[in-house]
Structure 1
């Protein structure tokens, strides 16, 4: 059998990232990007689809009788109707543990910048505040150490654990949050509401699922009595963006660092964009995962997943019977 592979959004990986050659007979079709109206036609002959963020809905999948495998060029699979894939016998594999350095490093870049108010001071210098100072420095914004503070982590997978390791090296106390609404708290976890109340920094590293959508909304921000820094390098839908804006403006949280938005790229009316001049807010364009090393590891694993499926020994399956 000669497989037809179609990569719908190759431009989500840098040009410097190389896809290793495949060992089996195949036809490759790569598109830099694919608008929704062209997904069905481009996959019409595909036996293997390769996607990063393109949405594969039930309506599309039922029209693709040749499709046997979806190789996701990411860890998250919220853009794919997994229930439909299971019903149609389409296997789905994702990428795992490729970002255990890049995402934690980006997370701590945000934490350090916000805890030490680097953005605030940078803006002050840009406005001439330092130049007009009466002494060699000035203190317009609070500066705090991380040592001795409590980091609450939501999501205890490989990335959450790597973030915890970095936190320990800074002398922080680390707590892992139990699932929101859980009736029992597992050993070595902290109840969700207790984490909200006692954390000085909160960092999200969990998947976007129906039960985690808007995990943080007005009610959760009201419980953050220590005015923490809130960091999200996972998925935008985990946080109610309007609630985050309100929490920052009213001082319920000290600062926020976001690498994601609910809709990407964000629309002009996205509430986060009204915070761009705030000294205690940083928004980066979903790049925490995007170091050269991490992307190449992703590409290598992507091809390994495809080879494994074709050889009859699929790996990293998302759908398990």
Structure 2
């Protein structure tokens, strides 16, 4: 006798297949704009090449902007939304007050709107701009999966609970911020390598120089020869001076960051303590021995950036495609 599948099982199977198909259809993909805006990445690269030739120091901030966007509400360009007096947005949050480069995103968006109105999301622009900023500073190139949609909500207070602070140690940042986002210890040590480009305000690490334990002392982990150099640049309570995170190489994406961390010259507590963590120490030491532009770090960085770029994305019919990145439609 032929076996008849109960209708309830068929219904459940259909629902599962529908959900699987929906998830697959809404996933990010390389070449998402191939038909709708085939020159999208070419337009972005052209603008970024022109911008970086004039202001190469923007590479670090633009990379950081994508990171800060993804860690709060996912990679939905909520970092770009303007707030109001009564409703401050993410860009108004304390960890984001030092961010620069919003004008770059607006410039790129204007070019894309002229070529393909209402097609390319601000969230995808952030991801591609970050990749191009790295590539144009002699770093790796990786394919960026696209198809993100833009969020409509941005809340300043969420930056304090979602962005890993520079004064936390590596273990704290891993357990409290990276693992909850689906990232692991390798992602932490690899993405921290992004500090090879860019600068930092003294206020982000001055406690290591002048008041590490609250008794007017310095962090004993800091190299004794590096400490006076930092003090000469950063006076107590200095909130305006900028210091190169990777001295002498802050405009070039390479492995010199890892050499500094291995020598106890990492600028932030979050950097310095990577050499103490059993899950990240070996990677630091291996890259510190590598020359110039090693294939392992470059490959790993692209992979971790793609992984980070998948955090909490909006796809399909979720969110919107903003006409202007600083405002909801």
TM range, normalised to the smaller chain? under 0.3
Greater relative contact order (Cα < 8 A, sep 6+): 2
Provide the TM-score with structure 2 as the length reference. 0.27
- If each structure's helix is expressed as a fraction of its own residues, which one has the higher value? 2
Larger strand proportion of the pair: 1
Q: With structure 1 as the length reference, what TM-score do the two structures score? A: 0.27
